[in-house]
Structures are given as structure tokens and as C-alpha cells.
């Protein structure tokens, strides 16, 4: 599932490529046809992202809420717009560009009030200027749940997925099984600041890179990582391999249906 940096990047791309003039709005697949008809010949007036939720604003007509889920993706292109290929849920097109949305978990037209309700249910997003770090800390500091579990709870911290949670915990030597209530406040502040930095880099680069300069392939004389997620990481999807820092074996365990990765030496309790 795409993590929050991808959704914020999409918000920027929609705004840059389709944010001027009237748009032709359609649903070649047909599952969004009625709402697409309402939006046809209107303008994209705003784009917004909160965690893994994307909101495309169309003035008085409301907002298209998109959640990509496991299979959703967006393809951008330039005019002339080709015939749709595959199950295109939503197509936006102007005289110079187009965007096709395929396979999202959610694609619905909602009101401004409904959009506000979604924001209210989501935890602070490290990529948003209005993020309330104190809210997240209050929830974490009172919880007996593992910090690795809390970081994936979108009601506590929004936009962090499996990659960022594994990597930020490694970067600060935190045992993923540590209860939230046992995490020192000073450490939480550092973790939050690092998430802000890493996720901003993710928006800019379109990939997740988490290793420090001294652990890059060129610095260590090792082969670059080959993975469909891209980016250089410490532990994510590296179960059974040597840790880049201490050479211990990276451990993996399925917890609550998600694979957890950590170094038992670098991340002791």
C-alpha cells in the first residue's frame, strides 16, 4: 500500500498538471459515472492529502476522496489523451494533460463537511503544517501497545506505513516491541522530527531512502538494493540478511497481519 509521501506527491502532481481551466471528467469503467457527470466541465480548485487520503476539490461541487489501497495507482500523461486502457475509475483531462485513476479502494464525491469529518478521524500527518504532535504523544504515552503497532495506527499517526515505521525505529535504536508508555518523550520528539524529514524526502524523490551517507552502496562497496519499493533501507524486507551497521541478522516476524523487520542487536530494549 502506498505510504503517505506518495499521496502528497500525487496531490502536487494533480495540482501542477490539471489545476488550470475546465476539465473533462469521465469514468470509463463506469463505477464513478454519475459523479463524473456532475463534475464534467468544472475546474480542479484544490488538492489536499492527509495520511493515505487524497482529496481533489471541485469548488461548490465538493471533493473527490481517493484512497489507493493495495492496488490503486494514478497515471499522468500529456495530450492527446489516448483511449482508456484497463479499468479506469476516474479520468481527468484538459487540453494539455490527463490523469487516469485505476483500482482504488475508494473513489467518491463528498461534501466539505464530510471531508472535515475524515480529517477529524485521522491522526497528525508529519507532512502537514497543521500536524498536532501533542495529540499523537498523548495517545502513545498512555498505551500498552507496542510502538511499532502504534505507528501504523492511522488514528494516531497518519501516513506512516510498514517501510517508514521499520526504518525510523531502526534509525533511533528502538525495540519495535517497546510499549508506547515506556517511550521517553525526548525520543518521541526525535522520531517525529525524523519522520518529517524522511517523508519530505520521499515526496521530493518519489521513493523511500533511509540510510545515512556512510551506509549507502557506494560508501560500503555493496550492491544497490533491488526491490519494487525502491530506495536504500536498513531493515525493511531485509529479513535474514546482515545488518548494514552491526552485521547481525535482520529479524522478521508477522505481527497483526503485517511483517515487522528489525535488528535485534541495534534495537535492544
Q: Is 89 a catalytic residue?
A: no
Q: Is 2 a catalytic residue?
A: yes
Query: What φ, ψ does residue 63 adopt, rounded to 5°?
Result: -130, 140
Distance CA 220, CA 235 (A): 16
Catalytic residue among 9, 28, 52, 232: 52
Q: Is 258 a catalytic residue?
A: yes
HSE (side-chain half, CA atoms, 13 Å) at 85: 4
Query: What φ, ψ does residue 147 adopt, rounded to 5°?
Result: -60, -35
The C-alpha cell that represents 126 in the structure block = 508529519
Q: Is 144 a catalytic residue?
A: no
**211-240 core/surface letters (b: 16 or more CB in 10 A; e: else):** beeebeeeeeeeeebeeeeebbbbbbbbee
The total of other beta-carbon atoms located within 10 Å of residue 185's CB is 10
Catalytic residue among 24, 200, 237, 258: 258
Distance CA 108, CA 106 (A): 6
Which residues does residue 242 pair with via DSSP β-bridges, in sequence order?
249
Gyration radius from the chain CA atoms: 20
Intra-chain end-to-end CA distance of the chain, in Å: 29
Catalytic residue among 3, 93, 167, 232: 3
Catalytic residue among 2, 28, 124, 176: 2
Distance CA 179, CA 130 (A): 27
Geometric angle at alpha carbon 94, from 91 and 99, rounded to 5°:
35
- CA torsion, points 36, 37, 39, 40, in degrees to nearest 10? 110
Catalytic residue positions, numbered? 2-3, 52, 258
Amino acid at each position: 500500500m502506498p505510504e503517505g509521501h506518495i499521496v502528497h506527491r500525487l496531490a502536487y502532481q494533480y495540482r501542477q498538471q490539471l489545476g488550470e481551466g475546465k476539465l473533462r471528467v469521465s469514468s470509463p469503467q463506469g463505477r464513478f459515472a454519475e459523479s463524473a457527470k456532475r463534475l464534467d466541465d468544472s475546474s480542479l480548485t484544490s488538492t489536499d492529502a492527509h495520511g493515505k487520503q487524497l482529496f481533489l476539490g471541485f469548488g461548490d461541487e465538493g471533493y473527490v476522496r481517493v484512497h489507493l489501497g493495495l492496488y490503486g495507482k494514478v497515471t499522468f500523461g500529456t495530450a492527446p489523451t489516448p483511449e482508456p486502457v484497463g479499468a479506469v475509475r476516474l479520468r481527468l483531462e484538459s487540453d494539455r494533460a490527463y490523469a487516469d485513476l485505476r483500482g482504488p479502494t475508494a473513489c467518491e464525491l463528498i461534501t466539505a463537511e464530510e471531508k472535515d469529518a475524515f480529517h477529524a478521524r485521522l491522526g497528525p500527518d508529519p507532512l502537514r503544517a497543521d500536524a498536532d504532535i501533542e495529540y499523537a504523544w498523548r495517545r502513545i504515552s498512555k498505551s500498552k501497545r507496542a510502538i511499532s503497532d502504534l505507528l501504523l495506527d492511522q488514528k494516531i499517526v497518519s501516513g506512516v506505513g510498514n517501510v517508514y515505521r521499520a526504518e525510523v525505529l531502526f534509525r533511533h535504536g528502538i525495540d519495535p516491541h517497546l510499549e508506547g508508555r515506556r517511550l521517553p518523550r525526548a525520543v518521541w520528539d526525535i522520531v517525529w522530527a525524523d519522520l518529517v524529514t524522511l517523508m519530505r524526502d520521499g515526496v521530493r524523490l518519489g521513493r523511500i531512502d533511509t540510510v545515512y551517507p556512510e551506509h549507502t552502496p557506494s560508501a560500503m562497496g555493496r550492491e544497490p538494493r533491488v526491490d519494487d519499493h525502491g530506495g536504500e533501507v536498513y531493515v525493511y524486507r531485509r529479513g535474514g540478511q546482515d545488518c548494514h551497521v552491526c552485521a547481525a541478522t535482520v529479524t522478521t516476524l508477522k505481527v497483526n497481519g503485517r511483517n515487522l523487520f528489525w535488528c535485534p542487536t541495534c534495537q535492544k530494549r
